[in-house]
């Protein structure tokens, strides 16, 4: 319940940020702050609906992930089937991403519409216990409906950044001449994207901790996931993945390095995740 309250609160904050930017834009171009705020709230609803309906298809296409059958990836299907039975969950579709960077993600709007995807590099790097730990983590995201929550958060954060840029350029190339109004718009344009990114980070990091704990309990082996995380962090630092850092929240570890990906990480520090898993192992007596 605590995670849900925190997540709903953070989404409320993001919606408020989006409305605030709309309020500023409305004041510039329509001389009506309320119309701008309501228009941008409506746009936020549309964006969330698109994310809800099509996030899976968009993500799979972006990373050229191929859905695989049991005959094409028997070990992968066997491990996930075992996790699904232990957790009393529907079997998701499985996909393989043609990347040598070891990583994994889950996508889809609910447990009946989920896909768990792994890269070729992940299959080559981890032993079976470690692979089971990673897949359990992704199944935990599915069970907790994190894949939808984090996709919507990322979409909203991107929309806020776009709207803020729109407001910023509006102050440069037209709009109101009132100095106080321009100052408000400039402030919103600068601070709103940063605030949205920080909120997205808060949502993503809390869900990662929860998925680690849930996945470890599913298979009864927190240390397997801890070992996998250490291997994945090291490998992703040596061989970052090509793609947009705005999608970093999907993966079990951050696959991108440098620039904004390193400054505003959507993942908790690996050392802290491992520490929590090792504490869970000693507390529950898994050896």
Q: Reply yes or no on whether 233 is catalytic.
A: no
Residue 105: predicted pLDDT: 95
What is the C-alpha to C-alpha distance for residues 257 and 154, in angstroms, rounded to an integer?
18
- Residue from 261, 243, 277 nearest 62 by CA: 243
Distance of CA 101 to the CA centre of its chain: 18
Under DSSP, the state recorded for 31 is S
- 119, pLDDT greater than 60: yes
Distance in angstroms (rounded) separating the CA atoms of residues 220 and 202: 27
Distance CA 214, CA 136 (A): 8
286: pLDDT strictly greater than 50: no
Number of other CB atoms surrounding residue 61 within 10 Å: 9
Res. 16 pLDDT band, cuts 50 70 90: confident
| Model confidence at 33: pLDDT above 70 | no
* Helix/strand/coil for 185: helix
Average pLDDT over residues 10-17: 67
Q: What's the rounded mean pLDDT across residues 178-198?
A: 63
Look at 67 and 283; give whichever has higher pLDDT: 67
Residue 287, pLDDT above cutoff 90 = no
CA 60 to mean position of chain CA atoms:
14
Q: Label residue 97 by pLDDT band (50, 70, 90).
A: very high
In contact, 149 and 51? CB cutoff 8 Å: no
Rounded to whole angstroms, the Cα distance separating 284 from 287 reads 9
Q: Out of 93, 130, 132, 138, pick the active-site residue.
A: 138
The yes-or-no verdict on residue 175 having pLDDT over 70 is no
| pLDDT-above-70 percentage for the chain | 60
Backbone phi, psi, residue 66, to 5°: -110, 125
Residue 261's pLDDT band, with cuts at 50, 70 and 90, is very low
Q: Which residues constitute the domain of residue 6?
A: 2-284
User: Residue 108: which of 69, 147, 51, 134 has the closest Cα?
Assistant: 147
Residue 185 pLDDT more than 90?
no
SS3 101: coil
pLDDT of residue 170: 63
CB 35 within 8 Å of CB 27: no
Share the mean pLDDT of the chain. Answer: 80
| Total length of the chain | 287
User: Computed from CA positions of residues 189, 195, 199, 202, in that sequence, does the dihedral angle turn out positive or negative?
Assistant: positive
Largest CA distance in the chain: 69
User: What's the structural domain count of the chain?
Assistant: 1
- In the prediction, which pLDDT does 220 show? 93
Task: Decide the pairing of beta strands 93-97 and 66-68.
Answer: antiparallel
């Amino acid at each position: 319940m605590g995670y849900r309250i925190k997540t709903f609160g953070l989404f409320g904050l993001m919606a408020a940020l989006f409305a605030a930017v709309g309020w500023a834009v409305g004041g510039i171009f329509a001389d009506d702050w309320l119309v701008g705020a309501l228009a941008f709230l409506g746009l936020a609803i549309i964006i969330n609906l698109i994310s809800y309906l099509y996030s899976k298809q968009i993500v799979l296409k972006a990373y050229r992930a191929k859905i695989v059958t049991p005959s094409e990836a028997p070990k992968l299907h066997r491990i996930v089937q075992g996790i699904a039975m232990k957790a009393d969950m529907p079997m998701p579709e499985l996909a393989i991403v043609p990347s040598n960077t070891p990583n994994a993600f889950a996508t889809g709007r609910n447990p009946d519409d989920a896909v768990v995807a792994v890269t070729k590099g992940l299959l080559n790097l981890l032993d079976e216990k470690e692979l089971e730990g990673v897949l359990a983590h992704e199944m935990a995201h599915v069970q907790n409906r994190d894949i939808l929550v984090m996709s919507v958060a990322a979409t909203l954060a991107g929309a806020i950044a776009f709207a803020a840029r729109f407001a910023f350029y509006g102050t440069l190339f037209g709009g109101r001449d009132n100095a106080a109004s321009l100052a408000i718009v400039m402030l919103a344009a600068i601070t709103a994207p940063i605030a949205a990114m920080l909120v997205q980070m808060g949502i993503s990091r809390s869900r990662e901790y929860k998925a680690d704990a849930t996945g470890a309990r599913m298979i009864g082996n927190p240390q397997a996931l801890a070992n996998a995380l250490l291997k994945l962090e090291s490998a992703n630092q040596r061989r970052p993945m090509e793609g947009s850092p705005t999608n970093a929240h999907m993966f079990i570890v951050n696959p991108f390095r440098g620039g904004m990906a390193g400054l505003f990480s959507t993942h908790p520090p690996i050392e802290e995740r491992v520490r929590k898993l090792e504490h869970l192992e000693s507390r529950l007596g898994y050896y």
